[in-house]
Amino acid sequence: MQANFINRAAINWVVFKQNLLAEASGANTIEQAYPAVVFAIVALGDKHSLFVPARPVKGLEMPTAKQPPIYPDEPVPGDIGYIRIPWVVGSQEKLDAYITSVQAHIKERDKPALKGWLVDLRGNMGGNMWPMLVGAGPVLGKDTLGYFFDSNNTKTAWRYEKGKALLDGDIEAETANYYTLKSANPVVAVLTDTLTASSGEAVAVAFKARKHTRSFGAGTCGVSTSRSRFYLSDGSVILLTTAVFADRRLVPYGHSLAPDESLRPAEVVPRAIRWIREEYKAKK
């Protein structure tokens, strides 16, 4: 934590360690030390770090994982493209199938006469950001999409090109049969809500500062940060927040992303469609 936590400079580590050791003073086994690790995670004060014990321990209160929602696609008029970017976690096979599915939906809905695209991130509670970026890649377009900033302010760039999501040039996810839009650089309306979290927020960041793009809905969850895995001696894992997301202009986040237009749920899609048509006309 002291070496890698994103906000490590803001913590008095002498006091932190004293408090942690006091919390752990009665522990005689590894399992009895688990509550102290949870204490340390809470003491960090961020909303994203997490302790995953190797074995369940009676009396150790762990946050229960919510099953993320599955939202239906929105019906849209014929001149508007629509793609939902849902949450995704799982095996490589599942991640590959996810990319194939999202790009297939884009291909199915694409046509030369489209005025623009709705990219729906509502309910995307996170998971693996790289298949999401590849899935949305045809709409995002070939470009540097954002960055990680770590506790040393070192930046690493995310990029999409030709079916690949890259981190400083290394392939993180890819599809061989990638799709290219019939009309490049489209007008895009991005839809977010309070359940748009973590990797879902990474996709929202990837659309920030993109030309002919505007966001609608509600502010995101507020965990626009990246976690790293640290394995402990018994196989337990600390998922530690080690970086914040930054957009293509190098503007850092780490907090909730406010939409360009804050709207009630029923207003989001109609207003986004209206804006796409206005922006398409102005762009022409």
Domain total in the chain:
2
Question: Do 159 and 20 belong together in one domain?
Answer: no
Question: Do 20 and 125 belong together in one domain?
Answer: no
Backbone angles phi, psi at 138, to 5 degrees: -60, -35
Q: Identify whether 207 is part of a domain.
A: yes
Question: Do 21 and 97 belong together in one domain?
Answer: no
Question: Do 22 and 125 belong together in one domain?
Answer: no
- Looking up residue 178, the CATH number of its domain turns out to be 3.90.226.10
Long-range Cβ contact pairs of 148-154 (< 8 A, separation 24 or more)? 148/226, 148/243, 148/244, 148/245, 148/246, 149/243, 149/244, 149/246, 149/252, 150/4, 150/6, 150/242, 150/243, 151/4, 151/5, 151/6, 151/7, 151/8, 151/9, 151/242, 151/243
Residue 63, pLDDT score: 53
Prediction pTM value: 0.93
Are the beta carbons of 131 and 95 closer than 8 angstroms? yes
Mean pLDDT across 7-31:
95
Question: Do 35 and 171 belong together in one domain?
Answer: no
Q: Identify whether 153 is part of a domain.
A: yes
Q: Identify whether 131 is part of a domain.
A: yes
Question: Do 114 and 29 belong together in one domain?
Answer: no
Q: Identify whether 58 is part of a domain.
A: no
Q: Identify whether 21 is part of a domain.
A: yes
Question: Do 217 and 88 belong together in one domain?
Answer: yes
Question: Do 132 and 220 belong together in one domain?
Answer: yes
Question: Do 184 and 123 belong together in one domain?
Answer: yes
Q: Identify whether 156 is part of a domain.
A: yes
Question: Do 22 and 107 belong together in one domain?
Answer: no
Which tokens go with 238?
């600390």
Residue 62, pLDDT score: 53
- Domain containing 157 equals 80-227+247-283
Q: Identify whether 2 is part of a domain.
A: no
Q: Are strands 80-84 and 225-231 parallel, antiparallel or unpaired?
A: unpaired
Q: What is the pLDDT of residues 198-223, one digit of tens each?
A: 999 999 999 999 999 999 999 999 99
Question: Do 84 and 40 belong together in one domain?
Answer: no
Q: What is the pLDDT of residues 86-144, one digit of tens each?
A: 999 999 999 999 999 999 999 999 999 999 999 999 999 999 999 999 999 999 999 99
Question: Which of the four pLDDT bands, split at 50, 70 and 90, describes residue 64?
Answer: low
Mean pLDDT across 150-157:
95
Question: Do 31 and 159 belong together in one domain?
Answer: no
Q: What is the pLDDT of residues 77-102, one digit of tens each?
A: 999 999 999 999 999 999 999 999 99
Q: Identify whether 59 is part of a domain.
A: no
Return the C-alpha torsion angle 24, 26, 31, 34, nearest 10: -20
